[in-house]
Structure 1
Amino acid sequence: MSLTGKQRRHLRALGHHLDPVVQLGKHGLTEGIVSAVDQALEQHELVKVRVGTECPDERGDLAEKIPPAVRAELVQMLGRTILLYRRHPKEPKISLPKAG
């Protein structure tokens, strides 16, 4: 599933007021972090991930690695914050604008 520009704008607006749920620290991207992001997406659908200043991984690399690892879409990367979206398979909470 690929998001349209209109859908991304809608998700960015919803994500603006969210606090980061998962934070990457000095150990970088670990299996535990991937699991935590996956769990958060399962509960919330739209999740902010904060990349700490001591994180050894590059932000751009993280923005490429995390979404496929948790089957999510990258909505936005702004500074040290990554916004991810994954629709809940059974009970979606967020309704996206129609594509097109």
Structure 2
Amino acid sequence: MSLNAAKKKHFRTIGHNLNPVVVVADKGLTQGVVEETLRALNDHELIKVKFAIGDRDIRQQLISEMISATNSDLIQTIGKVALIFKAADKPDPALSNLLRVRG
């Protein structure tokens, strides 16, 4: 999904107050991490993922792999935290970070 600049800016504004819900550490991008990320994206649509990896190149590679594995969009990276988005098929207004902000 291709997001325009205005939509990304809106998502960055919403994401500013979010805390990371998934952490990728030394073991890298395991199947369990991918599944948990998909679950979180399905529930919340817009999430932060913390990459607790010291090496910047490896961290960027893992972010790219995460985006590819989850078929999501990278909105922003700041340091070790990536803000990613994937539209839910049936968003839950009580869980979606996008719908809760509006209401």
Q: 2: distance between equivalents of 1:19 and 1:90?
A: 23
Report the CA distance between 1:64 and its aligned residue.
Answer: 1.2
CA distance in 1, matches of 2:41, 2:91: 13
Unpaired stretches in structure 2, ≥5 consecutive residues: none
Whether the 8 Å contact between 1:25 and 1:54 is mirrored in structure 2 is no
TM-score (ref. length: structure 2): 0.82
Give every structure 1 segment of 4 or more consecutive aligned residues whose post-TM-superposition deviation is greater than 6 Å: none
SS at match of 2:77: strand
1:11-65 CA-partner distances (Å, limit 9, x unpaired): 000001000000011111111111110010010000100011468x712112211
Over aligned residue pairs, what C-alpha RMSD do you find?
2.0
Of 9-18 and 24-33, more deviation after overlay is shown by: 24-33
Q: Give the TM-score normalised by the residue count of structure 1.
A: 0.84
Counterpart in 2 of 1:44?
Answer: 44
Q: Is the aligned partner of 1:64 residue 2:82?
A: no
Aligned AA (1:27): K
